Chains A and B, each alone.
Chain A
Amino acid sequence: MSTISDELKQEEAEKVENIDYKMVTFSLAGKDYGIDIMKVKEISKAKRFTYVPNADPYVRGVYNLRGDIISIIDLRIMFNLPAPKREEASFEDMIILRLDDYLIGVIVDSIDKVVGINSETIQPPHPIFGDINIKFIKGVVENEGRLYLILDVEKILGDTRNDEESSAQPQLVKQPVREPEAEQDHAEKTGETDYAFVVETLQTFRNFHVTEYNRNWVRSRFEEWRQQRAKEGAEVQLQEAEDADRFLQPFYSPYSGGFWGNDYCSAVKEILKQLQVQGNAMVWNPGCGAGYETYSLAIILKESFPNSQLKVWAHDNDLLNISTAPNLIFSSADIAEELEDYTVEGKNGLQFNKEIRDAIFFEFHNVLHSNPFPEVDLIVARDILSFQKQDEQYALVQEFADKIKPGGILILGRHEELVSDLFEDISNGMVRAYRKR
């Protein structure tokens, strides 16, 4: 027993002794902060900064440091902390930081000293820290009875545009670890130049963005593609839009751009058995195109929930396509028998009956804008995610999660996968579906 506690004590002592992290400490509004000393070039006192017009309020101006012109940032203004009143032209404490390849000065209330600690004693920040945005804090450490917040200067003063983008991303849905555009870098690092090139050209030619939602498919398709192209004696890389189309051909869900066949209808019906609808059945169908999918879906819903009032919001941002949707005309050869009961003979061909048409709102709408309708029971968004930019894909999944009622179902494209604690996978052979927990 005593040996264990001795060991613990010894370990603790070792931890304290093993100083491998030094930081410059300073105070802002009465609290203690630290910055990694490796980032600090020097500390100095300065006054009379040259004002820069039209700069952000926290930029105090520029300063001539022995011939080098450096920008001066006031951390107190940046973090919305109260700054003590100072006399005009009095000296202020300043830390000069070396970031990447430039110098920047930050003004603080007062600089304290250099503190050495063991980096193992740094603890991660708790998400409810108030004063300063959590992403700016590297960690918290205790030293001689004082708590220091270690600031991540790279995040604060580095390229701020990236920061805004990442903070705009949703918090609820599980975030991929990689930053946008990292896909190519990652692939390049692992020596898969061909794969990286394919990922890039898919984006260029067809606006197809590879993320965690479709990566598995792209990977396996790439292997298949490589073998196929080798057999044909052609380049693996996609050289023109047609190649991209050929590559993506197996990606699209069954009956994309046409009415659903009997097999797919029954597969969707199977999934819908797990859906409980009270009163109105509300459905959202973003990326509905010319409406073939929406009509098929509306009929299946009508049959699955005969006692409910059906309301479908069908959206697309392709004006030409969606313009034809409300009065879609087709011939009986195009349509599966299951759907045919709901059609009427019109002047120019077959049309859907009023009951079905009245249930659907076709809207010219960009789903990335705000979606002003109530929560829905079912979302059918087949093959739409992959054609949004990476950060927009996350935003859209978040929007789906927000818009869907608990217990509601989300149907995605056949080769799109969702990994999230919010959803439970209920896919069957043909239909990729998730239920919100």
Chain B
Amino acid sequence: MRVEYINPFVEAAFNVLREVLSEEVKRGELYLKSTSQPVLGVAVIVGLTGDVEGRVLFDMKKSVALTIASQMNGEELQTMDDLAKATISELANMITGQAVTKLHELGFKFDLTPPAIITGDNMEVSNSGVEALIVPVELQAGKIEINVAVRERT
């Protein structure tokens, strides 16, 4: 993945999470992965097109998703209902949107697809032919893994 793309995603994730959760957010070590990997339980996918093709995947445990959704809505949510799902999708949209805005300022043209949320147990995601950059984010409630897989249009 192009070096220029990395920072906007990392920064956007931290800005948005810090803002909506009003807590300190810690970053784990970034790394690359190309094999398939397990999904923790709740995954939001935002597609990217334009100068590049690819997707951003936000991956977290169900309990983490619920805690974040509760905090963002200001009420206790017990189950992954429509409201919780909509909240998590919106969070993904905000982060990706901010990253893409930053990239626009740098002169890269990206477009987004609407987020899609996927929940369930024992899921796995494969990146066929693209390696993914993993940005682990540590929250008080637990861990979110942001998995960015993009490649240049050739």
State the B residues within 8 Å of A (CB).
Answer: 1-4, 6-7, 30, 32, 34, 129-131, 133, 151-152, 154
Q: CB within 8 Å of B: which of A41-82?
A: none
Q: Is A362 interfacial (CB-CB < 8 Å)?
A: yes
The 9 closest A-B pairs by CB, nearest first: A369-B34, A369-B131, A362-B3, A372-B151, A366-B32, A370-B129, A363-B2, A322-B3, A326-B3
A321–chain B nearest beta-carbon distance, Å: 10
* Chain A residues closer than 8 Å to B154, beta-carbon distance: 372-374
With an 8 Å Cβ cutoff, the count of chain A residues facing the other chain is 17
Q: Is A361 interfacial (CB-CB < 8 Å)?
A: yes
Q: Is A365 interfacial (CB-CB < 8 Å)?
A: yes
Q: How far is the CA of A363 from the CA of B1 in the complex (A)?
A: 5
Q: How far is the CA of A361 from the CA of B6 in the complex (A)?
A: 13
Is A372 a contact partner of B3 (Cβ separation < 8 A)?
no
Q: Is A150 interfacial (CB-CB < 8 Å)?
A: no
* Chain B residues closer than 8 Å to A317, beta-carbon distance: 32
Q: Is A364 interfacial (CB-CB < 8 Å)?
A: yes
* Chain B residues closer than 8 Å to A132, beta-carbon distance: none
A48–chain B nearest beta-carbon distance, Å: 35
Q: Is A319 interfacial (CB-CB < 8 Å)?
A: yes
Is A361 a contact partner of B34 (Cβ separation < 8 A)?
no
Is A364 a contact partner of B34 (Cβ separation < 8 A)?
no
- Greatest chain A CB density within 10 A among B3, B4, B6, B151 is at B3
* Chain A residues closer than 8 Å to B30, beta-carbon distance: 319
Judged by DSSP, the binding face of B is mixed
| 9 further contact pairs, Cβ within 8 A, besides A362-B3, A364-B3 | A317-B32, A323-B7, A361-B2, A362-B4, A364-B6, A364-B133, A369-B32, A370-B34, A373-B154
Is A325 a contact partner of B32 (Cβ separation < 8 A)?
no
B154–chain A nearest beta-carbon distance, Å: 6
Question: If the complex has contacts A319-B30, A369-B32, are A362 and B2 also in contact, measured as CB distance less than 8 A?
Answer: yes
Q: How far is the CA of A372 from the CA of B129 in the complex (A)?
A: 7
Can you report 29 residue pairs joining A to B where beta carbons are below 8 Å apart?
A: A319-B6, A319-B30, A323-B3, A323-B6, A325-B3, A361-B2, A361-B152, A362-B2, A362-B3, A363-B1, A363-B2, A363-B3, A364-B1, A364-B3, A364-B6, A364-B32, A365-B1, A365-B32, A365-B131, A366-B32, A369-B32, A369-B131, A370-B34, A370-B130, A370-B131, A372-B129, A372-B152, A372-B154, A374-B154
Q: How far is the CA of A317 from the CA of B29 in the complex (A)?
A: 13
Q: How far is the CA of A325 from the CA of B6 in the complex (A)?
A: 13
* Chain B residues closer than 8 Å to A374, beta-carbon distance: 154
* Chain B residues closer than 8 Å to A366, beta-carbon distance: 32, 34, 131
* Chain B residues closer than 8 Å to A369, beta-carbon distance: 32, 34, 131
* Chain A residues closer than 8 Å to B151, beta-carbon distance: 372
Q: CB within 8 Å of B: which of A330-387?
A: 361-366, 369-370, 372-374
Q: How far is the CA of A369 from the CA of B4 in the complex (A)?
A: 20
Q: Which residue of B has the minimal Cβ distance to A324?
A: B3
- Greatest chain A CB density within 10 A among B4, B7, B129 is at B4
A313–chain B nearest beta-carbon distance, Å: 9
Q: How far is the CA of A366 from the CA of B5 in the complex (A)?
A: 16
